[in-house]
Amino acid sequence: MLAMSRIEEGCTVLILTESGKKYLVAVRRGKKFHSSEGYIDLGELVGREYGCVVRSNTGVRMTAHKPLLQDLLSKVRRITQIVYPKDLGYMVLISGIGPGSVVLEAGTGTGVLTATLAYYVRPTGRVFSYDINQEYLEAAHYTLERLGLREYVELKHGDVYSEVSEKDVDAVFLDVPEPWKAVGNAWKALKPSGRLLSLSPTIEQVVETVENLRVGGFDDISCVEILVRDIRVKRGMTRPEFLMRGHTAYIVSARKSEINSRHITDDTWNENISPT
């Protein structure tokens, strides 16, 4: 994941063909990359700058680019529903996290959000990621290792509804079925004015979560949905694509503040803010 201007043996490159097809390929001397548009000798890429152009044996133009995190994540083996790039970008931006931030995540799943958070808090930050499913944690471990981000994440087998041990974290990310049940522990884990982000596929989950946030010591509460539509650009014929990336999830965000609507202690928190 370290920035390099030239291609080295063993690194992964993004091969982009004339037809727009994309391939992630590990560069090895003595190996060839084969596609429906011909093959190239990967050894010829070593020492060249990213963005260089090569020709396949059939004369097709191919470009070797440095892969973005998004490119790498697109090839992750999915064992759960993943967080899509259009949602990831917004969540990271409004969370305020960056190098050195400490983040708590609940709902590790395949590890796409986990890897994204680790990428942005490195090299001195830390992600504490909880999941109740050991199989998911093992899958995330593999994903993080493959991306070179494992050292920035502590994977924890536990239930965020019940208890978390972290304190004074900069942000909490929730991708769990009942996020409203984690509001109390999120408030206790966050530093003052820290950000909470919750991802939910249904509006019923959003309503429960927002109601709990309102009485649970949070303000600046909002909910958005991110929709993305590609545009086909051709002079005289430019138009939106017929297919688009529509609903994937609702994103709820909030800031930790003082609990001023009522006095809530550890013993009464769940009683006071859990939905009836």
Q: Is the pLDDT of residue 272 over 50?
A: no
The Cβ-side half-sphere exposure at 137, using a 13 Å CA radius, reads: 16
pLDDT at position 20, please?
87
Share of the chain above pLDDT 90, in %: 76
260 pLDDT band, cuts 50/70/90, is: low
pLDDT in tens, 113-151: 999 999 999 999 999 999 999 999 999 999 999 899 999
244 pLDDT band, cuts 50/70/90, is: confident
pLDDT at position 136, please?
93
- The domain segmentation of the chain, as residue ranges, is 12-67, 71-273
| Domain 71-273, architecture per CATH | 3-Layer(aba) Sandwich (3.40)
Q: What is the CATH number of domain 12-67?
A: 3.10.330.20
- Residue with tokens 């649970």, as numbered in its chain: 216
Report the C-alpha gap between 174 and 155 in whole angstroms.
15
